[in-house]
Structure 1
Amino acid sequence: MDPVAALSAFDRQLRRELPPGDPETTVEREPRLIRHVSTAAHSWQGVVWTDLDAATADAAIAAELPRFTGDYEWKHFSHDRPADLPDRLAAAGLVADVLEAVVVAEAAGVPDFAPPAGVEIVEATTPEGIEKATDLHQRVFGKDMSKLRAQLLAAAPGTLDVVLAVAGDEVVSAARTDYYPGTDFAGLWGGGTLPEWRGKGIYKAVVSRRARLAQARGVKYLQVDALPTSEPILRRAGFVRITTTRPFTARPR
């Protein structure tokens, strides 16, 4: 995979040209900034792309500040300009969240990893399956997942895969794939595994199952915003870091 070509496609398709994710979301395009805004409580909102420089950055940030209520965020990427944009966002009172690596792989290049003995990977896009996935995420991450649950239940047909890792009657891991029609990309999100089941190869098996599902749909690239705990595993599965990202919000999360 050519990382430079992948980053160029990522910026164009998933930032500058990405259509709204649901009927409640609107894309607002300005000459140097693109944002997504929504009337639905479960929809993501924020700045997705900028083309700023030292002369225009502070005015753009100041104009955007009134929007920073609720979960609105400025999604900054390390290759965005100017180079000191994170410092300018912080100086304006915004709070930096966790830094994540944006890693990409070609779906066809992700190997097949079998789950450990006694664990089965199953597809679960029904409302019951979504409930099981978000319940698992609530256990793993210790956060209220009601907004995510509403978002997944409202997803348009064909834009979502949910997979579960099941041991006996217990869901031990869950993750999803978001599809972006009209692009070369699918996003892998929400990989969470119960602590006592980590280190057994379940996460890799969940990644490869999602890769096969995406490949069957004709997807070229898989993209993940990876935490430090996930990036080494994804690198061993063929993913390459193309940039990093960090959201800025009005208050700590």
Structure 2
Amino acid sequence: MTTDTARLLRAYDDQLRTDAETPSAIAVTRSGPLRLVTFAGGRGFVTYRDLGGADAAEVARLVETAVAHYLADPAIDRVEWKTRGHDHAPGLHDALLANGFSPEEPESIMVGEATALLAEVELPAGTTLRKVTEEADVRAASAMADIAFGDAVDPGQADALLRRLARDDGMEIWVGEVDGEIVTTGRLEPVAGTEFAGIWGGATLPAWRGRGIYRALTAARARSAIAGGKRLIHSDSTEYSRPILERSGLVKVSTTTPYQWRRPQAA
């Protein structure tokens, strides 16, 4: 690992793998090294700075304890356990499978200087970039993201974004439009008490990919982050967005694989 990559990974671990990772939690319970987080809407989330050198037997016990914690709360119907590829976590994959978790696709953890993203991009005619706050714009952006990912439009996603905006916690929603049609979107999420802002939720309609619009939207979010006093950018990236961020100067410092658990249905 190069010195720069190691420095960025250390900043990620030290600054982001704390309570700063879950600012909208409604409850956090400590269980050894684990933070067992409860979000609104029946969602649980398991994260940690590291597993404290636990061996496979102790890792298995930690997983069992976490599942028991969420089973005891009938309001929780789903839980995500966020793993990182660089952690020392012997037996974690097998322990998660044994306790009802299923892995999703790995993503790349991308970190870098915000200034690296300040590209000037030649855009298609009729393209505009802007931050949106009005309900109609937020719902249109959320619906476009669902369509871009091949999913059914979920009004609940837009409801959640509107609740976040109402909290005024610094989150920004940005869109790129061509002749008034939203064709790309993404969020900026400054992390309080750190040097970081996150860029999340990037989505572009297939017909408009590869034309620089998403890269320009990323640059716009980086400018906003810098204006707000943030120096570093982080993102968990799919294999589509990773090359865009790498070309802009962000570095893949590790991987992250979410494991999902659903409450067993009563017989």
Q: TM-score, normalised by structure 2?
A: 0.85
Residue 208 of structure 1, aligned match among 211, 219, 225? 219
Residue 23 of structure 2, aligned match among 21, 24, 44? 21
Q: By how many angstroms is 1:170 displaced?
A: 0.9
Q: By how many angstroms is 1:82 displaced?
A: 1.9
Residues 35 and 47 of structure 2 are in contact (CA less than 8 Å); yes or no, is this contact kept in structure 1? yes
Paired position in structure 2 for 1:151: 160
Paired position in structure 1 for 2:47: 48
SS of structure 2 residue aligned to 1:45: strand
Paired position in structure 2 for 1:139: 147
Residue 242 of structure 2, aligned match among 231, 241, 245? 231
Residue 177 of structure 2 corresponds to residue 166 of structure 1: yes
Query: Which one-letter code corresponds to 2:105 in the other structure?
Result: V
Residues 225 and 245 of structure 1 are in contact (CA less than 8 Å); yes or no, is this contact kept in structure 2? yes
CA distance in 2, matches of 1:100, 1:117: 33
Residue 101 of structure 2 corresponds to residue 109 of structure 1: no
Paired position in structure 1 for 2:107: 100
Residue 131 of structure 2, aligned match among 79, 99, 123? 123
Query: Which one-letter code corresponds to 2:227 in the other structure?
Result: A
SS of structure 1 residue aligned to 2:61: helix
Residue 233 of structure 2 corresponds to residue 222 of structure 1: yes
Paired position in structure 2 for 1:7: 9
Q: By how many angstroms is 1:138 displaced?
A: 1.8
SS of structure 2 residue aligned to 1:242: strand
Residues 143 and 153 of structure 2 are in contact (CA less than 8 Å); yes or no, is this contact kept in structure 1? no
Paired position in structure 2 for 1:248: 259
Gaps of 5+ in 1: none
Residues 19 and 27 of structure 1 are in contact (CA less than 8 Å); yes or no, is this contact kept in structure 2? no
Paired position in structure 2 for 1:64: 66
RMSD between aligned residues: 2.1
Q: By how many angstroms is 1:20 displaced?
A: 4.4
Residue 197 of structure 2 corresponds to residue 186 of structure 1: yes
Change (3 A) 1:17 1:250: closer
CA distance in 2, matches of 1:234, 1:177: 15
Q: By how many angstroms is 1:94 displaced?
A: 1.2
Change (3 A) 1:71 1:92: closer
Residues 131 and 173 of structure 2 are in contact (CA less than 8 Å); yes or no, is this contact kept in structure 1? yes
CA distance in 2, matches of 1:85, 1:151: 31
Paired position in structure 2 for 1:34: 35
Of residues 145-154 and 211-220 in structure 1, the stretch that sits farther from structure 2 once superposed is: 145-154
Residues 25 and 37 of structure 1 are in contact (CA less than 8 Å); yes or no, is this contact kept in structure 2? yes
Of residues 109-118 and 241-250 in structure 1, the stretch that sits farther from structure 2 once superposed is: 109-118
Q: TM-score, normalised by structure 1?
A: 0.90
CA distance in 1, matches of 2:105, 2:21: 26
CA distance in 2, matches of 1:70, 1:150: 19
Q: By how many angstroms is 1:113 displaced?
A: 3.1
Residues 236 and 256 of structure 2 are in contact (CA less than 8 Å); yes or no, is this contact kept in structure 1? yes
Q: By how many angstroms is 1:195 displaced?
A: 0.8
Gaps of 5+ in 2: 263-267
SS of structure 1 residue aligned to 2:252: strand
SS of structure 1 residue aligned to 2:27: strand
Q: By how many angstroms is 1:57 displaced?
A: 0.3
| Bigger CA radius of gyration | 2
Of residues 54-63 and 95-104 in structure 1, the stretch that sits farther from structure 2 once superposed is: 54-63
